[in-house]
């Protein structure tokens, strides 16, 4: 990733406003005396497991989808590839904006992940666990159905949304 792709503090604040507007829950920052003693440090635990989807990934996925909808409110749907929390997050985010969603997963994805993706209404397409196939299948679905391809972790909108969870303690933006 080059420096131009790293979101600015202003973009992170915009992402924070997006997520607050759609009621992404604030999550606590906790400490643990036992861990602090064990490590000799003051550790802070950002409890993103309290998110509706079980991880911080909802912040990045939702920020991408809301930004895409702002650019084109008539988007037909969304597609991404993930055999984990990103797939769950995109499925949930698409359900919030009431659009169809396709998640391309590997054939060895754990059942609990599949169930979590399905509970938000996404269609699942399974392929062999070769990462080069994921992108090709998503690109094909994106073209055929005119769906927006939601990027994974290296997109500035994903990063801006995800950064909110780590900056919130210091910037009070959560």
CA 80, 57, 155, 133 torsion: positive or negative?
Answer: negative
Single out the catalytic residue among 16, 55, 83, 142. Answer: 83
With left for phi above 0 and alpha for psi between -120 and 50, is residue 81 left, alpha or beta? beta
- Taking a C-beta distance cutoff of 8 angstroms, is the pair 57, 155 a contact? no
Residue with tokens 């055929």: 144
Whether residue 46 lies in the annotated active site: no
Q: What is the spatial distance between Cα 174 and Cα 171, in angstroms, rounded to a whole number? A: 8
DSSP result, 74-111: T---EEEE-SSHHHHHHHHHHHHTT--EEEEEETT--H
Single out the catalytic residue among 16, 55, 57, 91. Answer: 57
Whether residue 16 lies in the annotated active site: no
- What are the residue numbers of the active site? 57, 83
């Amino acid at each position: 990733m080059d420096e131009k792709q790293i979101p600015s503090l202003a973009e992170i604040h915009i992402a924070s406003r997006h997520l607050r507007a759609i009621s992404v829950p604030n999550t606590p920052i906790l400490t643990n005396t036992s861990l602090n003693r064990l490590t000799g440090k003051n550790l802070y635990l950002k409890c993103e497991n309290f998110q509706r989807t079980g991880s911080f990934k909802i912040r990045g996925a939702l920020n991408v989808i809301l930004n895409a909808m702002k650019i084109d409110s008539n988007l037909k749907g969304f597609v991404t590839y993930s055999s984990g929390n990103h797939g769950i997050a995109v499925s949930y985010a698409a359900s919030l904006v009431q659009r169809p969603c396709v998640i391309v997963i590997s054939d060895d994805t754990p059942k609990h992940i599949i169930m979590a993706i399905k509970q938000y209404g996404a269609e699942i397409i399974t392929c062999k666990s070769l990462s080069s196939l994921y992108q090709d299948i998503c690109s094909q679905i994106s073209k055929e159905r005119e769906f927006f391809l939601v990027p994974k972790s290296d997109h500035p909108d994903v990063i801006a949304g995800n950064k909110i969870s780590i900056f919130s303690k210091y910037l009070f933006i959560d």
